[in-house]
Structure 1
């Protein structure tokens, strides 16, 4: 399989020096009658990292987590009320390094949804599902640029239904779509 690297078309160069902090997210494919949907959240506005941004359920790896899949399942349980047994892990995408110093391990999982999503009020402002068909359409993958720390930065964005999925989350989605479109 073609190796996909982290960041926007390669490792991001603005990452603080030092060892990246390990984290994991659940790229959850929610099983719905009308097709699979990606499970996403909007982070609350007061958080230290990525406040108000759209993200996958996930977070830092804790010492008690045996692997990134365990972290992704634990974080999904804490953030959106998804029981770990409702996630069948399908695989892991290449790690994604962020400008804020995280090395994210995206864990792809098939999700049997609970009767209702339960947002953690401290971390999650909103829980929503984006149709997989929308993200599979390459026309919906857009590039934008902006200045950060005196340098121009280019990143992925996917406006959808009044929300703007961008940065690391959009980059992980683009990498996931690239894996699904891969042909030998």
Structure 2
């Protein structure tokens, strides 16, 4: 996994790196699957994957501690508010922290971790509010006939992808830019 990440870091090098600093009285939590790929810009698309490393609108969230979370974001598809020094956002809104924690709950395979047992009721409350939409993750796939040969044979393409987390993430400091036009490019390099 680490080798793959190192070999492919160029695919996300154009994403804006932002450090989210939690200034509320509730911590960031993390799951057993803490790095979350999310795409609100293309959230309504369900017939193909929108979480690839080059997909327009990609956001990657990675909680680092109870007070810090790393965000990598396609800045061409979102308006980012309240940013300091081009790379820091201080979060004072508890709704934002709750939303990011719910994202971790949805991303979890089995466990959500937090640093203080006194937070159990808070985490339990968040889990209960999301319980009806939690699901086990399974990749989706589609099969397409892509090439026919003179002898009547054909090649098929099987495309697998992870569906989006069934949670509509709302953050007060990020708003997506509406999609313009008929088509949706599948690679950020189309508008680099």
TM range (shorter): 0.3 to 0.5
The structure having more radius of gyration, on CA atoms, is: 2
Give me the TM-score of the superposition, normalised by structure 2: 0.31
Higher fraction of strand? 1
